[in-house]
Amino acid sequence: MKTMAIFPIILLTVSCSILPAKKIYISESGNDQNKGSKSQPFFSAEAAQQAVRKIRTDNPDRDVRVIFSKGTWFLKNPLVFSAADGGSGKSKVTWEGAPGGKTTISGGRIIRGFQDGGLGIWWANVDPDIYFEQLFIDGIRATRARTPNLTDSLPRIYLTKSKWVYNPDSTVRNITVAVKDRGYFKNLMPVDEFEMVVFKDWTTSRFHASSLNADPAEIMLKPPFALYDGSYNSIFAGSADRYSCFLEGDPSFLDQAGEWALDKKAHRLYYKPLPGQNFEKTVAIAAVVPRLVEITGERGNTVKNLEFLNLNFQDCAYILPAFSHDGMQAAFYYPGNTEATGGAGLINPAIEMKWAENCKITKCLLSRIGGNGIRLGEGCRNNLVEQLVATDIGGNGAMIGLTFDPLKDSLLLPVNNTFSKCQIHKAGVSFQGSVGVWLGFGANNEISDSEIYDLPYTGISVGWQWNPLPTSSHGNRILRNIIHHAMQMLGDGGGIYTLGFQPGSVISGNDIHDILRSELNHASPNNGMFIDEGSKGYLVENNTIRNTAHTSIRGHRTAGVELKGNTFYSGNQPAISHSPPYDAMIYTNKDTTVTWKNPGWPKEWGYGEKVTAFTMSGNTFKK
């Protein structure tokens, strides 16, 4: 009798678990009044989302597939997914595009009605309700009009110092930046406000500018200003003689084929076409939506088992905020006194995940992005990003982690997330201090089997604390990646860059090559790996590093990293270097223990006058 009673219950449970997934269809020819079936598809993602929620309510353990036809869906607002849109512990919800990358989710707006204005310039009227700073012509990012041009013999303007003008109440009314070439602006008359794009040692900044002074040549910045309390590496330091810039965005700068400019007052777009382009056939898409996908759960009610497959995410906007972007490392910015939150300011990502568990993004394309690419932030656990191609990204390609240590609030910490088998290249298009992949505060996360290349700054950046004190970060893994052609514009970085104490973290099996050096940058060296301040607890093993601008590995105030079984092809320069001492950097071309003196750290940190930077064994040193 017991067996007879239990058997139907077991049978019912099994039959529920093997129910076929419920399919919901979306097509460009669909209608939101339809049923969402294959023969009567929906038109919009929003209609499909409501259908998913009903299915999940009626049968939470049944899988759901939302299937797009081929085509392009232009968003007016981000797609927002909450816990109600995900699966359960027993089911998943998958949003999938047509095979072969034929389904696109776009944050763009098509600009129509180009006319030939003569003198090699096209123009089109733009709706007054839109403003944009990224434009894509026939699928290619067009160059926002600039001076000097990238192809000029001297593609940047060199700066000297900044001068502040105060209001009677001691607030800052204006900041003027002086230019070394006193007569540079004699023939420039901007129509409206524009941007000054500043190149610093390892960061870039963007500032609203109101006007130019011809003689002496000066750039007048526009308030409000995010006045950073410190002056290091900020344009507001007073002395800017290490910095250079170009100006961007005004119609008066439009002088080269492939450039565009928006006259905000006249609501008119100007474009100087490339040879062979026809204004009747050219497709212009302006990026207007600042985020494409938000996956946002809550503490105790996370988004679970939500998957995206075979989708293209494109044309995501970035708009420079009113207080500009005084750049920090990895495309963060100094928020100064204009924002309530402390810490580093974050450029908007096209795809953002918070409080998400066991979610997947697979075989997707992320391209034509104004800000950062994808970020896994607060409360993200056990998520997988696999076979993602991220290219033509304004900021960082991919991000995991926090800019602050949550300490005892362990649920905030991103844990066990994986980026694997991805291609990330041509990031940092607008913010050249960006990195391919950024990993901040987090634990047991993995970046593996990916190719990361064609970058203005660092390939992979790990850690976000500039001292060797314990943090919540540990056990992160950087495994078997190919990182090349990085550090093409800025300095003081590497193929892989590390910070802080990360016990149990491993950097292994990576192939790092062609880490370059721009003749326009005058910062510290560029290396295969730069093991920066407070780095401790990492095992760096079985990596191959070759063809680097400077030493294969450089340490700076490093506090205990093991180098084991690596192969260094260092040419005629030493493989390993460390500073301090700054007046006589430590170099070695053999396995040894590298130590440095006088760290100046507080005694309670437990360090004496000598600190061990590297312990080394089994490494191979070749030319």
Mapped to the 3 state alphabet, what secondary structure does 245-279 carry? EEEECCHHHCCCCCEEEEECCCCEEEECCCCCCCC
Evaluate if residue 227 carries a pLDDT over 70: no
What are the domain boundaries of the chain? 2-102, 109-271
pLDDT (tens digit, 9 = 90+) per residue, 85-135?
999 989 999 999 999 999 999 999 999 999 999 999 999 999 999 999 999
CA-to-CA distance for 76 and 289, rounded, in angstroms? 7
Q: How confident is the model at residue 56 (pLDDT cuts 50, 70, 90)?
A: very high
Evaluate if residue 11 carries a pLDDT over 80: no
Q: What is the pLDDT of residue 174?
A: 80
Q: What is the pLDDT of residue 228?
A: 61
Look at residues 464, 262, 254, 425 and name the one whose alpha carbon lies nearest to residue 346: 464
Euclidean distance between the first and the last CA atom of the chain, given in angstroms as a whole number: 79
CA-to-CA distance for 350 and 455, rounded, in angstroms? 19
Angle at the Cα of 370 (from 147 to 299), degrees rounded to 5? 150
Mean pLDDT over 564-580 rounds to 96
Contact residues for 623 (Cβ-Cβ < 8 A; gap 6+): 569, 570, 571, 572
Q: How confident is the model at residue 239 (pLDDT cuts 50, 70, 90)?
A: low
The lowest-confidence range among 28-32, 175-179, 321-325 is: 175-179
Strands (E) located in 355-489: 356-357, 360-362, 365-369, 372-376, 384-386, 389-393, 398-400, 418-420, 423-425, 437-439, 446-448, 451-453, 460-462, 477-479, 482-486
Per the DSSP assignment, residues forming a β-bridge with 447 are 419, 478
Tally helices (H) and strands (E) across the chain: 2, 56
pTM: 0.94
Look at residues 520, 549, 522 and name the one whose alpha carbon lies nearest to residue 150: 520
Q: What is the pLDDT of residue 340?
A: 47
Q: What is the pLDDT of residue 337?
A: 58
